[in-house]
Amino acid sequence: MARVIWFSVALLILISLSLYSYKPLDTLPFSTSKFPKKGIELVSPDELTLMKQHVNYAAAAYCSKQNLSNWTCGYRCFGNVTIEKMFHDNAKGAHGYIAFSEENKTIIVAFRGSLDAVNWIYDLKYAQLDYEFPGIEGALVHGGFYNSYDIVKNTILWTIQWMMTREENSCRGYDVVITGHSMGGALASFLAIDVKRYILDPILSSQTHSLPPFTIHLTTIGQPRVGNHIYAKIIQTHLISQTSPLKHKVSRITHRNDVIVHLPPSSRGFIHHAHELWVNNQEQSFFCDDIVEEFEDPVEDPECLAGTKWFDLGPHLSIWNTTITPLC
Provide the residue-wise pLDDT of the chain in tens; the chain has 328 residues. Answer: 555 454 555 555 444 444 443 444 333 333 333 444 545 688 999 999 999 999 999 999 999 999 999 999 999 999 999 999 999 987 777 999 999 999 999 999 999 998 765 566 566 677 899 999 999 999 999 999 999 999 999 999 999 999 999 988 899 999 999 999 999 999 999 999 999 999 988 765 555 567 888 999 999 999 999 999 999 999 998 898 754 444 448 999 999 999 999 989 898 899 999 999 999 988 999 999 998 777 688 999 999 999 988 788 899 999 999 999 887 7
3-state secondary structure 58-108: HHHCCCCHHHHHHCCCHHHCCCCCEEEEEEEECCCCEEEEEEEECCCCEEE
Bond prior to 245 in cis (omega within 30° of 0) = no
Specify the pLDDT at position 3: 53
- Bridge partners, residue 63, by sequence: none
For 131-166, the pLDDT digits (tens) are 999 999 999 999 999 999 999 999 999 999 999 999
Specify the pLDDT at position 120: 61
Question: Cβ(231)–Cβ(269) under 8 Å?
Answer: no
Q: Which helix (H) or strand (E) holds 50?
A: helix 45-60
Global pTM reads: 0.86
Q: Which of 143, 89, 134, 141 is nearest to 112 (CA)?
A: 89
133 DSSP 8-state letter: B
Specify the pLDDT at position 311: 83
Specify the pLDDT at position 25: 39
Specify the pLDDT at position 297: 83
Distance of alpha carbon 256 from alpha carbon 135, whole angstroms: 37
3-state secondary structure 273-320: CCCEEEECCCCCEEECCCCCCCCCCCCCCCCCHHHCCCCECHHHCEEC
Specify the pLDDT at position 29: 30
Instruction: Give the distance between the most distant pair of CA atoms in the chain.
Output: 56
Distance of alpha carbon 252 from alpha carbon 31, whole angstroms: 21
Length of the chain counted residue by residue = 328
Question: Which amino acid, one-letter code, is at 49?
Answer: T
Specify the pLDDT at position 116: 64
For 108-123, the pLDDT digits (tens) are 999 999 876 556 656 6
Residues 6+ apart with CB under 8 A from 61: 68, 95, 96, 97, 110, 111, 112, 113, 180, 181, 184
Residues 6+ apart with CB under 8 A from 75: 56, 322
Distance of alpha carbon 44 from alpha carbon 96, whole angstroms: 29
Question: Cβ(203)–Cβ(133) under 8 Å?
Answer: no
Q: SS3 of 24, please?
A: coil
- Any idea of the CA torsion for 108, 172, 151, 260, to the nearest 10 degrees? -30
Distance of alpha carbon 233 from alpha carbon 298, whole angstroms: 7
The domain defined by 2-323 carries CATH number 3.30.559.10: no
